[in-house]
Amino acid sequence: MSAQQSTQQMQGKICLVTGANSGIGYEAALALAQMGATVVMVCRNRAKGETAQAEIKTKSGNTAVDLMIADLSIQREVRRLADEFKAKYQKLHVLLNNAGGVHGQREVTADGYEVTFAVNHLAYYLLTELLLDVIKASAPARIINVASSAEGFGSLKFDDLMGEKRYGAMQAYGQSKRANIVYAYELAQRLAGTGVTVNAVHPGPVATNFGANSGGIMGLFTRIARPFELTPAQGASRLVYLATSPDVEGVTGKYYGDKKQIKSSAQTHDPAVQRQLREVSEQLTAASR
C-alpha cells in the first residue's frame, strides 16, 4: 500500500475510540487519523485528552480529530456521551471499545457497581447499545471490543459478578474481559444481516502503564512482564487491522489475536451464557435511564 493510499483508506469514515489519550487507544486513534478517518477520541481527563488530541492532529496532519469527555464508570456520563455524539454526527463506521482498567482492591462506582466490571464491560455494553441505531445506519460498519487472553483467568460468575462474596484483581479483570468476548459473540448474532460486524481482539501483552499500580500479584506480574511486551503501536495494530482491513470485511463473531482468529474459552461459546449476560447487562444499565 502506498503512502497516499494509506492516508486515504479511511477517508469519509467516522471512528469512535474510547480510552484514546494513552496506550493502545492513543496509537489506534493516531493510526486511524493517519488513514484519513474522522476520529472521535473519548477520554476521561480533559487536560490529557486535549494534549493527546493536539499530538494526533500534528502527527497525522489530520484536523478531523474530535474530543469528547466522559467518565465511563458512570452510566449517566455514558448516556450523555452517546447523546453528544448523536447530536454532532449522523454516522459511525467504527466503534472501538478500548477503555478499561484493573484495580487491586475492590472499589464501587457512583452507580454502586464493582468498578472493573462497570468500566470494562457495562460501559462497552451501554455505549454500544445506545449507538446501535447510528451504527446500523452507517453499514458497512464495525464494532471491536478490546478483550484479553486474561479472560482465561476469570469465568463469568453470575452469582457474584460484583465480587461481593470474593474479590481478586485477576479474577475481576479476567471476568470482565471474558464478558467482552461473550458480548461480541452475542451481538454479532443479533446483528447478522445488517452489514455491521462485531469482533473481539486480544492486543497482546503491551508495555503501557496499564495495571502497574493495581498492587498485589497483578501489579507485580505487570511490572515483571514489561521488558518482554509489545509496544503500544504494535498492540494497536491488531485493533486497527480489525477496524480497517478488507481482509476481515464481513467477518463477524470472532476473536482475534495477531491478525488471525484465535480460540476463546468454552464458556464464551455457550448460548445460555451469552443470553444471560445480555439480560443481566440490560438489567444493570436500565436503572440509569
Instruction: For residue range 22-56, list pLDDT tens digits in order.
Output: 999 999 999 999 999 999 999 999 999 999 999 99
How far apart, in Å, do the first and last CA atoms of the chain sit? Answer: 46
The predicted pLDDT at position 288 comes to: 63
* pLDDT-based confidence at residue 204 (cuts at 50, 70, 90): confident
The percent of residues in the chain predicted with pLDDT above 90, rounded, is: 84
Looking up cell 475492590 gives 106
The predicted pLDDT at position 229 comes to: 66
Q: What does the pLDDT average to over 61-74?
A: 98
Q: Return the CATH class of domain 3-286.
A: alpha beta
Distances (CA, A) of 183 to 18, 29, 125, 151: 17, 23, 8, 13
For the cut 50, the answer to whether the pLDDT of residue 121 exceeds it is yes
* pLDDT-based confidence at residue 205 (cuts at 50, 70, 90): confident
For the cut 70, the answer to whether the pLDDT of residue 1 exceeds it is no
The predicted pLDDT at position 9 comes to: 86
The predicted pLDDT at position 3 comes to: 43
For the cut 60, the answer to whether the pLDDT of residue 181 exceeds it is yes
The predicted pLDDT at position 2 comes to: 40
Annotated active-site residue 173? The verdict is yes
The predicted pLDDT at position 215 comes to: 52
For the cut 70, the answer to whether the pLDDT of residue 271 exceeds it is yes
Considering the candidates 113, 124, 125, 173, report the single residue annotated as catalytic.
Answer: 173
Q: For the segment 80-120, what is each residue's pLDDT rounded down to a tens digit? A: 999 999 999 999 999 999 999 988 999 999 999 999 999 99
* Integer Cα distance of 64 and 219 in angstroms: 37
For the cut 70, the answer to whether the pLDDT of residue 210 exceeds it is no
Residues 127/88/76/63 CA torsion (nearest 10 deg): 80
CB 170 within 8 A of CB 153: yes
